[in-house]
Chains A and B, each alone.
Chain A
Amino acid sequence: MKEKKYRAQIYVTLRPSVLDPAGTAVESGLQNMGYANVTGVRIGKYVELTIAAASETVAREQLDKICDQLLANPVIENYRVELTEISPVEAVR
């Protein structure tokens, strides 16, 4: 079977139960700027990568392992993966 290429956009965020001091600091900065209407600032990480796989299902399975083992620490973080197939023209570039 021919492999396809996918662009993965991975968002790693602190679990809601984990204190985010950096988010709190940014929130107070925004409030000092006058944005009293801003609350709930949480800071996470964004990772993008290209993955070759036989199908989207296979790619997602691998990405779950990649995230669980390295990109995120499941003890304190959640992750979300968005997957887009790269068209052959784009892949050539």
Chain B
Amino acid sequence: MKFGVVVFPGSNCDRDVVWVTQHLLNQPTRLIWHQETDISDIDVIVLPGGFSYGDYLRCGAIARFSPVMTEIVQHAQKGKSVIGICNGFQILTEVGLLPGALARNRDLHFICDRVPLKVVRTDIPWTKAYTTGEIITLPIAHGEGRYYADSDTLSQLEDNQQILFRYCTNSGEITTAGNPNGSLNHIAGICNQRGNVLGMMPHPERAADPATGGIDGMKLFQGLLC
């Protein structure tokens, strides 16, 4: 399984992903500069976290016009895997591979924390190494992570089971108390209808090496390999 980690000006979680896929999982991995236009060697595209183009205008709004994005849209249309983490999720909504938008956090704060999440669905590669309903803890670090979509879109996401991760309390209750940023329907991560494109605000790559204090994110990458 070959991973390609896209580097935009301002990406800052790119090497964290490479650490996981290449050094911990021994998978061939390469960094892809955002100006590249040939990604045909890649199986899994990762849009990493960070502040592409300084988050100017809106998070992800300018990155989505980078030359590599045309190729990434085609990659996704072929049914190949694309994951956007944090700023990567914002880029995926801006480019239209995922519905909705990420708006400013409900309480205005930039939140840097570890939060519990419930794994809602485990019958697709992204989450198949988890068990349904499992409560995991992943880091979040964002100022604009409040998932928003109109009510029709939200109903579609629910009906099609496109919500993979929801924020919850430590005991797994899906309530406002467990929702750090005000995301609608407590959404932390969604996939497209086909299931090959995943966007999530929490950082699985920052919770994969035991040295970082948690490994709940590792199963996401491992799930892709088995």
Contact = CB atoms under 8 A, between A and B. Distances in A.
Interface of A: 14, 17-22, 25, 45, 70-71, 73, 75-76
Interface stretch (B103-111, B131-139, B189-197): B103-111
Given A20-B104, A70-B65, 13 more contacts: A17-B150, A18-B148, A21-B105, A21-B106, A21-B108, A22-B108, A70-B57, A75-B99, A75-B100, A75-B148, A75-B149, A75-B150, A76-B148
Contacts of A21: 104-108, 182
Nearest to B100: A75
A70 B61 contact: yes
Contacts of B182: 19, 21
B194 to A, nearest CB: 20
B14 interface: no
Interface in B151-182: 182
A85 to B, nearest CB: 26
A84 to B, nearest CB: 23
A25 B108 CA distance: 8
A71 B56 CA distance: 11
Question: Which DSSP category, helix, strand, loop or mixed, fits chain B's interface?
Answer: loop
Contacts, number: 38
Contacts of A76: 101, 103, 148
Contacts of A71: 57
B128 interface: no
A44 B92 CA distance: 23
Interface of B: 57-58, 61-62, 65, 93-94, 99-101, 103-108, 146, 148-150, 182
B28 to A, nearest CB: 35
A73 B58 contact: yes
A20 B148 CA distance: 12
Contact of A19 (B57, B65, B106, B150): B106
Contacts of B93: 75
Contacts of A22: 104, 108
Contacts of B149: 75
A76 to B, nearest CB: 5
A75 B101 contact: yes
Given A17-B150, A18-B148, A73 B61 contact: yes
Nearest to A71: B57
Contacts of B57: 45, 70-71
A25 B57 CA distance: 21
B89 to A, nearest CB: 14
11 contacts: A17-B150, A18-B103, A19-B146, A19-B182, A21-B108, A70-B57, A70-B61, A70-B65, A75-B149, A75-B150, A76-B148
Contacts of A14: 103
Nearest to B99: A75
Nearest to B94: A73
